[in-house]
């Protein structure tokens, strides 16, 4: 599959947003991934041509980050966090259930081409552990049965809404949004920090503990310096 002229124009647009054009490489890779469902050799060549880089330089970046797929991905990316907090609260059991139900392992695509599975080290959502993402949208405090219900709903073509964001749209659509070429009207989707995210701040306020930027520390910066003696 070749990269369309529309995408090539959008690649140039992304490159033009940065003082140094090569700074656009990460979003550009997401953009070509949104067209082909993975970062293909043609996508790498298109990015290299736009930025006047070698294909080796572009490939070095594309192979470093796991969000870029180097083979055709499934229609939906399913990520399950199994790092410390999520693992302690059921992340491993969540992964086992999802993997068994989809019939695929880490970095594998289910036989029906619908699900692309990834065992993720951290989703940066420890307050809502165990966490699963579908096309990078959060599904919080999941149980194995709830995770399987999400997969079943996706397989039957139902609309599935994330816990703190928009409805799931698919891996390609998510890649396009992440590229930043446009936000698909999603800016207002989701909400602000919830009670779980603010728990420590709330507890500190209840105990009269000042916030870091208004506390007793002195020195450079909002939290001051620490002197070791």
pLDDT tens readout for residues 35-60: 999 999 999 999 999 999 999 999 99
Q: Please state which of the ranges 65-79, 115-129, 174-188 shows the lowest mean pLDDT.
A: 174-188
Q: Residue 103 corresponds to which tokens in the numbers above? A: 């019939």
Query: How many CA atoms, within 13 angstroms, populate the side-chain half-sphere of residue 176?
Result: 15
pTM: 0.84
In this prediction, residue 204 has a pLDDT band, given cuts at 50, 70 and 90, of: confident
Residue 193, C-beta contacts closer than 8 angstroms, at least 6 positions apart: none
Residue 76, C-beta contacts closer than 8 angstroms, at least 6 positions apart: 114, 115, 116, 134, 135, 154, 168, 170, 171
**60 and 24 Cβ atoms separated by less than 8 Å:** no
pLDDT at position 222 over 80: no
Over the range 28-58, which residues count as b (16 or more CB within 10 Å of their CB) and which as e? bbbbbbbbbbbbbeebbbbbbebbebeeeeb
Say whether domain 5-62 belongs to CATH 1.20.1440: no
Which residues of the chain form beta strands (DSSP E)? 76-81, 108-109, 115-120, 132-134, 137-139
Domain spans of the chain, in order of start: 5-62, 76-169
For the domain covering 76-169, report its CATH number: 3.40.30.10
Q: How large is the average pLDDT for residues 161-190?
A: 88
User: Judging by DSSP bridges, how do beta strands 115-120 and 76-81 pair with one another?
Assistant: parallel
Q: Which residue has the tokens 């219900």?
A: 149
- In degrees, rounded to 5, the angle at the alpha carbon of residue 185 between the alpha carbons of residues 182 and 186 is 95
pLDDT at position 215 over 50: no
pLDDT given for residue 13 in this prediction: 97
pLDDT per residue as tens digits for the range 62-115: 999 999 999 999 999 999 999 998 999 999 999 999 999 999 999 999 999 999
C-alpha dist (Å) from residue 5 to 10, 21, 176, 194, 227: 9, 19, 16, 42, 58
**165 and 133 Cβ atoms separated by less than 8 Å:** no
Strand, coil or helix: 153:
helix
In this prediction, residue 229 has a pLDDT band, given cuts at 50, 70 and 90, of: very low
């Amino acid at each position: 599959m070749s990269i369309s002229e529309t995408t090539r124009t959008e690649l140039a647009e992304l490159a033009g947003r940065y003082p140094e054009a090569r700074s656009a490489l990460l979003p550009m890779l997401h953009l070509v991934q949104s067209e082909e469902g993975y970062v293909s050799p043609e996508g790498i060549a298109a990015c290299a041509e736009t930025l006047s880089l070698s294909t080796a330089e572009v490939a070095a970046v594309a192979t470093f980050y796991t969000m870029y797929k180097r083979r055709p991905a499934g229609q939906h990316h399913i990520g399950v966090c199994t790092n410390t907090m999520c693992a302690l609260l059921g992340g491993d059991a969540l992964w086992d259930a999802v993997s068994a139900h989809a019939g695929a392992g880490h970095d594998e695509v289910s036989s029906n081409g619908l699900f692309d599975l990834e065992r993720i080290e951290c989703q940066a959502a420890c307050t809502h552990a165990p966490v699963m993402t579908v096309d990078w949208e959060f599904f919080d405090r999941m149980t194995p049965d709830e995770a399987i219900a999400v997969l079943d709903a996706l397989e039957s073509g139902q609309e599935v809404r994330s816990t703190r964001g928009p409805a799931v749209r698919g891996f390609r659509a998510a890649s396009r949004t992440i590229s930043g070429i446009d936000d698909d009207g999603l800016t207002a989707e989701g909400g602000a920090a919830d009670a779980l995210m603010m728990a420590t701040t709330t507890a500190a306020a209840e105990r009269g503990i000042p916030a870091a930027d208004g506390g007793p520390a002195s020195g450079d910066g909002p939290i001051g310096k620490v002197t070791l003696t």
